[in-house]
Amino acid sequence: MKNIPVSLEWKNNKLYLLDQRKLPEDEEIVVCEDLTKVIVSIKTLTVRGAPAIGIAAAYGILLGLEHTGLEEINKVFDSRASELVKARPTAVNLAWAVDRMLSCQRANRTNPDIYQCLLSEAQNIHQSDRESCRAIGEHGLELVRKYPNILTHCNAGSLAVSELGTALAPIYIANEQGTNVHVFVDETRPLLQGARLTAFELRRNGVPCTLISDNMAAHIMSEGKIDMIITGADRIAANGDAANKIGTLSIAIAAKYFRIPFYIAVPLSTIDYATNSGSDILIEERDGAEVTHFGGVRIAPAGVSARSPAFDVTPADLITGIVTEKGILRPPFPEAIQNLMV
């Protein structure tokens, strides 16, 4: 899978981000040399996908500190962490990665080599995501072989993580091994992450796919053309409720009606053990202009009000299974998730 795009890279004490706002037409790189640039990049979706923004935050908190002394690093670290966590509140991987960096800083607050320790921790977070995505792909492979005609929503591929993806990982592996896979890609309004990003990376890697508008999904299910739905998620509560891109809930409801299995693929870092249920998940509300405008062009009457919640919550009882790097979790999810902590 040599053609999978890379969402981010750390080199020469700078963070390089593939600007996902410009895809698929242009593959531009944004170079971040300070924390502010990273925060703006997260907020504006230059980098997106819960695992990817967690990795970006882990590196971003270090920008500009490579020649800073021990005392100054300890002085500014908490405030830097706080700024990052506020950038996108629904994605738990962001807070998870920042918490890991904070723990490392506190454990090394008297260590003269604190910067190198922190950089090693950020690199460990990056590498563990690569390994998790590969393991998710291997565990989900049996599902794709059994259900090769798949619907996915938003983008849970390599652009949302370090490489390979979560929901797309088993699809890539199955396709590489010769399974006749076909993916229906929801366009994913209002920002078209499915049309712009998922279709882009699937085609680049030779995975057969068909782009559909979001409101076609139930119709395609009714035609018997979909064997399985698989998506990613930005946060999973302790009871198995899952927050993912707006529109996921509608698909899950339709899947239940048509008796189509609905899976979610995530690394364990996306499971928030401290959040009891989906009703406790803070849903990011974005600018309504994302709905009234597209590509800078108004598509709705001037003055009309609009909402743009970035996510919705799919209740656990609509989810068939959760694919993780440790295997596939099955209902009842509270027990399955609790067992991960043992």
Please report which helix (H) or strand (E) contains residue 286, including its range: strand 285-286
DSSP, collapsed to helix, strand or coil, labels residue 301 as coil
Task: Determine contact, residues 147/276, Cβ cutoff 8 Å.
Answer: no
CA angle, residues 164, 40, 136, in degrees to nearest 5: 20
Contact call for residues 238 and 277 (beta carbons, < 8 A)? yes
Catalytic residue status for 129: no
Do 196 and 24 form a contact (C-beta atoms < 8 A)?
yes
Distances (CA, A) of 143 to 1, 133, 151, 173: 20, 16, 13, 12
129, 234, 272, 312: which one is catalytic? 234
Question: Alpha-carbon distance 270 to 230, whole Å?
Answer: 16
Question: Counting beta carbons within 10 angstroms of the beta carbon of residue 288, is it exposed (0 to 12), middle (13 to 18) or buried (19 or more)?
Answer: middle
Q: How far apart are CA 152 and CA 167, in angstroms?
A: 8
Angle at 134 between CA 41 and CA 119, to 5 degrees: 50
* Half-sphere exposure of residue 285: CA atoms within 13 angstroms, side-chain side: 4
3-state secondary structure 235-277: EEECCCCEEEECCHHHHHHHHHHCCCCEEEECCHHHEECCCCC
Task: Give which of 236, 51, 48 is closest to 161, Cα–Cα.
Answer: 51
Q: Are 40 and 118 in contact (CB under 8 A)?
A: no
| Length of the chain, in residues | 342
DSSP H/E element including 291: helix 289-292
Q: Active-site residue numbers?
A: 234
